Structure 1
């Protein structure tokens, strides 16, 4: 497990009780669950249908009756099909979601997969890994966005990635940026969002990542302890801001599920 491409952390919520729209959740590795995002979605009455792909659980060929798709993070690269042979199936589901306007949320590696699957590109950061709690800046299109429109200027976001999107897909709308990573969030069409950061995690999870990735980070000139401290200091704001964003995405899922009769 490394900081090379990003993770999604915390086991988060499991599958909810029957009832309510169901969201397919693609999980790439053991410590890569939906965390705070999952908690807020389940609280809003949305069921999570996790696929633990690294365990060999098969992805569905299509989204079927799912009302949404979440693609989480992980330490593989978005094109590393040899290490993660399920990635072509994930890319196919991403394209299906965008074509059908089924709500989609890609987180860190998941956001990179969205960009790559739709014709953008991802590369290794020449500046080294970006980790810790980093303030984001709103871009003009954020104001009218139904999911990220309420994110305040300068809101902190947890970063843990060594790759980044360097070219957006055609037609993508950038929503949030940062001083050291240009594409922190973007939307494709009316129902697909991708973020480079981790709205699902807090300091406890980041401390686990720092313990696992410490040697690699220090060799890149990054102090993992400083990253953990920054996240811990921002914890309350992180939960408030990204919990609200999770609920906003869930509202989109519910509205579109009602419209489709899912």
Structure 2
């Protein structure tokens, strides 16, 4: 089977709704629980694809999460299809030469965010299918909860999506994609995170999701399937060579 490695930095920031879709797509999912002391793999040990999940840390919070230095090193070198989500996207940006601001001045972006897609996304193999779901404003909704934000993309990155509050919601750099929002998360996961945030309300998260649940679920499913298809396609190309 095609091996996908998932690096998890917090017990409550899991692969969540992506897990069954990746399995259905034929991926052999290996979760590395970095928060529990499991070793972050080297670039040549991740298999055919890599996902780096979110968590409550900042990108250089190495004192609280010492494995983050290893994740940044991994993201700087890995060449297989890679998806960074929230903290994972921020780590990807920093690893490739971009910049992240901790506690960015706009403050909390939580609940449901509209990601507006840029023209560059049209031919993108992973986020293009998501953008195809967009409304007349070229936007799709997703769950989100964050304060840190990418403020400078890596020099060779392609900017793919923005929101009203934070511009760099989606980008591609090489064979890696970063998304600031949470397409992999169920509403209950995000509501649990909101319960620990003084400026967020779990009830507000649930209400915002309920109003657009069908669209939000479609974005998550489409992104998961497109990324899985990309991992499978690149793995097959490598075998053919």
For 2:179, which of 178, 181, 195 is the aligned residue? 195
Q: Distance in 1 between matches of 2:231 and 2:224?
A: 11
Q: Distance in 1 between matches of 2:155 and 2:46?
A: 28
Q: Which runs of 5+ in 2 are unaligned?
A: none
Q: How many residues align?
A: 233
Give the structure 1 partner of residue 73 of structure 2.
Answer: 92
- TM-score (normalised: structure 2): 0.92
8 Å CA contact 1:62–1:96 kept in 2: the answer is yes
1:259 Cα deviation after fit: 1.2
Whether 1:164 aligns to 2:142 is no
Aligned 1:84-233 pairs, distance under 5 A: 84-97=65-78, 100=79, 102-123=80-101, 124-150=103-129, 151=131, 152=134, 153-189=138-174, 191-213=175-197, 216-217=198-199, 222-233=200-211
Query: Per-residue CA shift, 1:40-99, capped at 9, x if unaligned?
Result: 1111010111110111111123332600110000001111111111111111211221xx
- TM-score (normalised: structure 1): 0.85
Q: Distance in 2 between matches of 1:227 and 1:125?
A: 21
Q: Distance in 2 between matches of 1:224 and 1:36?
A: 19
8 Å CA contact 2:141–2:216 kept in 1: the answer is yes
1:129 Cα deviation after fit: 0.7
Q: Distance in 2 between matches of 1:192 and 1:210?
A: 28
> Secondary structure, in 3 states, of the residue corresponding to 2:60?
coil
1:173 Cα deviation after fit: 0.4
Whether 1:44 aligns to 2:25 is yes
Give the structure 2 partner of residue 80 of structure 1.
Answer: 61
Query: Per-residue CA shift, 1:183-228, capped at 9, x if unaligned?
Result: 0000012x21000000011222222222222xx21xxxx5553233
Give the structure 1 partner of residue 3 of structure 2.
Answer: 22
8 Å CA contact 2:195–2:201 kept in 1: the answer is no
Q: Which runs of 5+ in 1 are unaligned?
A: 1-19
